[in-house]
Amino acid sequence: MELSLNEFEQQVNKTILKRGRDYFEHDHVVRVKRLSEGEFELAVMGTERYTVYLRFWGDAVMDHDCSCPYAWGPVCKHVVASLFYLRENGLYSAPPLSKEMKDDRSVPRQVATMLEEMNYDDLRLFVHTLCWDDSLFQQIFLVRSLQFLPTVSPDLYKLHLRSLINMCNHPTTTPFSYDDIDRVIDAVDDISFSVNDEISLGDPMKALYISTAIIEEMSTFSCQIEHSEIDDSIERAFNTLERLTHAELTDEQHSKLLDALLSLSYHPALQDEWGRLRAPLSNPAVSDGDLLGTWTINRVKVKKTVDGVSSERTYSAGQKVESFNESPKRVTFSADGNSVFEYENGKTDGPFEYTVEGNQIKRMIMVAVYTYDYKVTPSGELQLVTTVSYARDSHSIVEEYTYYGTKR
């Protein structure tokens, strides 16, 4: 990546830039050593003490390395903090352009050389041993490598993320030190940057489940401690979900994505983005006008099953419906994706977001998703079917409601 001392703020990812500036302003650069003209080695405190190597040619950063895991990806925040440190403290003077560059002698360079020389079996044994000896390293390794787990399980992803957060909490001392937060965020960001590749590699469900796990667990984390980088991690996961809304998905994958978005739509960070995420998922049937409009419910059929024994009754408009759920007298579905249910007692349910997928309508009401099977008959009658289950007096009861309506 091309960098220059005077323009790196325009060249570096904004999130990484913000974190690097934060490290610089909070005095995380603890040591600087000039190796030669234009060549520096700095120590930056993060999750642990990291060594940053910088080599300049004029204003240009010819080489940069860091001993943190991000040394193998985009420029890391430790490098950015070091650039701020050198520039703002006036410690850098450009070497003569005719001067021959010297061999690398920094710790990061030595590590890189050793990794290049180490064979795969030796490296795998080293990681395995370290995971066995260090439970925290083991959990960080698991989180950073979630995409390689053979089992695609949202619950498993959440478990690993939650375990890492819990291991970094020290309730007997000071809960979640700056380094603890940094440790969690670094691991989550590493998997966030990697998981987007799963969409291109044909495994969008892995991207979906890891992203939703990040949103749920990091949202809980943000309730324990306020930190802008936690919100950044959540936003990146939402961006992955948005990318999924535009991906080529099978019907089953499409359904799972919609269910995941509906289950997350109560989250404040998603509510502002719900419109742009919902739009690509809307079923064309909604825009055709078959469902749109206000429907007057003319009759209600209730099928009640108590301990496996069923009975059925149909009620006309004006009759009191004897059921667990109150029955609407009018329902409205708008082109803007909102729905309203009106009842006899003047109560109004909505407006609430809804989506249509196949022959199902899904309404998001607060933190719950209500599903209705629907169809519009050739004669223009709407049929909405929904089910509720409950227990009463030790009896298991299921009620299925069919609402029949016509447009007014």
- Retrieve residue 198's tokens: 């799963």
pLDDT at 21: 92
**Percent of the chain topping pLDDT 90:** 13
Largest interatomic CA distance in the chain: 96
Is residue 95 predicted with pLDDT exceeding 70? no
- Retrieve residue 264's tokens: 């997350």
The dihedral of CA 211, 214, 216, 219: what is its sign? negative
pLDDT at 98: 44
DSSP string of 185-216? HHHHHHHHHHHHHHHHTT-HHHHHHHHHHHHH
If asked whether residues 127 and 276 sit together in one domain, one would say yes
Binning pLDDT at 50, 70 and 90, where does residue 290 land?
A: confident
Binning pLDDT at 50, 70 and 90, where does residue 83 land?
A: very high
Is residue 71 predicted with pLDDT exceeding 60? no
Rounded average pLDDT over 90-113: 57
Binning pLDDT at 50, 70 and 90, where does residue 402 land?
A: very high
Write the single-letter amino acid at 210. Answer: I
If asked whether residues 54 and 175 sit together in one domain, one would say no
- Its domain, for residue 156, covers 121-281
The dihedral of CA 126, 127, 128, 133: what is its sign? positive
DSSP string of 328-357? PSEEEE-TTSEEEEE-TTS-EEEEEEEEEE
If asked whether residues 267 and 294 sit together in one domain, one would say no
pLDDT in tens, 354-393: 888 778 888 877 656 788 999 888 788 899 999 988 888 8
pLDDT at 305: 92
Rounded average pLDDT over 168-191: 69
Domain boundary, last residue among 225, 257, 281: 281
If asked whether residues 40 and 105 sit together in one domain, one would say yes
CA Rg value for the chain:
29
End-to-end CA distance of the chain: 63
Nearest to 329 by CA among 298, 374, 365, 361: 298
pLDDT at 102: 44
Helical packing angle, 204-224 and 251-264, nearest 10°: 10
Rounded average pLDDT over 239-245: 82
If asked whether residues 266 and 289 sit together in one domain, one would say no
If asked whether residues 380 and 316 sit together in one domain, one would say yes
Binning pLDDT at 50, 70 and 90, where does residue 117 land?
A: confident
- In eight-state DSSP terms, residue 387 is E
Rounded average pLDDT over 116-145: 84
pLDDT at 60: 85
CATH number, position 386: 2.40.128
| CA 288 to chain CA centroid, nearest Å | 32
Is residue 89 predicted with pLDDT exceeding 60? yes
Binning pLDDT at 50, 70 and 90, where does residue 281 land?
A: low
pLDDT at 97: 45
pLDDT in tens, 131-161: 888 887 888 888 878 778 777 777 888 888 8
Most confident of 35-44, 108-117, 254-263: 35-44
Binning pLDDT at 50, 70 and 90, where does residue 168 land?
A: confident
Is residue 208 predicted with pLDDT exceeding 90? no
If asked whether residues 145 and 249 sit together in one domain, one would say yes
The answer to whether the beta carbons of residues 66 and 50 sit under 8 Å apart is yes
Specify which residues 401 forms β-bridges with.
302, 386
Global pTM?
0.50
Nearest to 193 by CA among 181, 210, 218, 205: 210
Domain boundary, last residue among 281, 316, 334: 281
If asked whether residues 135 and 276 sit together in one domain, one would say yes
pLDDT at 392: 84
If asked whether residues 322 and 399 sit together in one domain, one would say yes
Give dist(CA 276, CA 293) in Å, integer.
Answer: 23
Please enumerate in sequence order all residues whose Cβ is within 8 A of that of 288, keeping only pairs 6 or more positions apart, or say none. Answer: none
Binning pLDDT at 50, 70 and 90, where does residue 285 land?
A: very low
Rounded average pLDDT over 272-290: 53
If asked whether residues 292 and 276 sit together in one domain, one would say no
What is the number of domains present in the chain?
A: 3
Lowest mean pLDDT among 147-151, 204-208, 339-343: 147-151
Which carries the bigger pLDDT value, residue 189 or residue 331? 331
pLDDT at 404: 93
Please enumerate in sequence order all residues whose Cβ is within 8 A of that of 385, keeping only pairs 6 or more positions apart, or say none. Answer: 372, 373, 374, 400, 401, 402, 403
If asked whether residues 234 and 138 sit together in one domain, one would say yes
Is residue 99 predicted with pLDDT exceeding 50? no
The dihedral of CA 387, 320, 296, 363: what is its sign? negative
If asked whether residues 269 and 296 sit together in one domain, one would say no
Rounded average pLDDT over 80-93: 86
Rounded average pLDDT over 230-258: 81
DSSP string of 80-122? HHHHHHHHHTT---PPPTTSPPPPP-SHHHHHHHHHHHS-HHH
Rounded average pLDDT over 53-72: 80
Computed over every residue of the chain, the mean pLDDT equals 79
Domain boundary, last residue among 246, 281, 316: 281
The answer to whether the beta carbons of residues 375 and 402 sit under 8 Å apart is no
